[in-house]
Amino acid sequence: MGKKKLKYLICLEGILLRKKIRNNELTLGSWITLGNASIAEILANAGFDWLVIDLEHTTISLEQAGEIIRTIELSGVTSLVRLTSNDENQIKRVMDAGAQGIVVPMVKNTKDAIRAVAATRYPPLGNRGVGLARAQQYGVSFKEYLAWQADINSGPIVIVQIEHIDAVDNLKEILSVSGVDAFIIGPYDLSCSMGIPGEFENPEFVKTIDRIIKTSSELNAVSGMHIVEPDKEELSKVIEAGYKFIAYSVDIRMLDVAARDGLDVHRGIKR
């Protein structure tokens, strides 16, 4: 492997994913909530385009996240991190650990979106503090990394979560922010913000989802959806509906569903 190729290895998978997103191609990923690198390796080797390490609703530490990022990328898959909040300090740290992008929860307006994008990039494009860590190969590839993070066509991936009715009202402006690559709907939080928690068949919720899709289609934006249960039929429906950035299930639900399916067969035999 040539020296130049080695320097770019850490960013290569992210560049390829960014290209697919910009071309509005379908990509499939999944969600990691358990702080075990072996689980990340198993999911990466399964063939997903990207994997999200979830810091928002888990006990995964930054140290564990760093090891999981390393494992995912060594398996040839793009690593993204869902933040606990739109926190520039946390963004800086996960980017320095080698994450190739972020998933930002509860983005409600353009100010939130601009803030997230700026935190992934060094001045003058953003406000990210400069440090030497794994992302820059501990200083060896700083110049190459500097060029990568400044390139709007191949730099850090920023996915915003649309999970509040305020975000729906501001969706056109949010998706027009330079550096926002795609959005993913958070159905539970969105329904809660509407006063109808978990009522996904409620006509008002259905109307709101249709409104989101209509707006994103007008802007040719990349729309995303998280299918929490490992349901292949639901995945097919979401693909047919035109979503392009799709998270298929989550590690804990895959484990639980597979275990219970096996037990159901056993119980059926005993009966």
Structure tokens at 2: 């040539």
CA pair distance 53, 46, nearest whole angstrom? 16
> pTM of the predicted model, to two decimals?
0.92
H/E element, 184: strand 182-185
CA pair distance 266, 56, nearest whole angstrom? 36
CA pair distance 266, 192, nearest whole angstrom? 38
CA pair distance 264, 270, nearest whole angstrom? 10
> Number of folded domains in the chain?
1
Catalytic residue among 57, 164, 226, 266: 57
Alpha carbon 97 to chain centroid, angstroms = 16
CATH of the domain at 165: 3.20.20.60
Instruction: Going residue by residue through the chain, which has 271 residues, state the pLDDT in tens, using 9 for 90 and above.
Output: 344 444 445 567 777 898 899 999 999 999 999 999 999 999 999 999 999 999 999 999 999 999 999 999 999 999 999 999 999 999 999 999 999 999 999 999 999 999 999 999 999 999 999 999 999 999 999 999 999 999 888 899 999 999 999 999 999 999 999 999 999 998 889 999 999 999 999 999 999 999 999 999 999 999 999 999 999 999 999 999 999 999 999 999 999 999 998 888 777 755 4
57 catalytic per annotation: yes
Q: Is 25 helix (H, G, I), strand (E, B) or coil?
A: coil
Whether the bond between 156 and the residue before it is cis, its omega within 30 degrees of 0, is: no
Give the domain extent around 97: 3-270
CA angle 74, 48, 10 (to 5 degrees): 30
Contact 86, 104 (CB under 8 A): yes
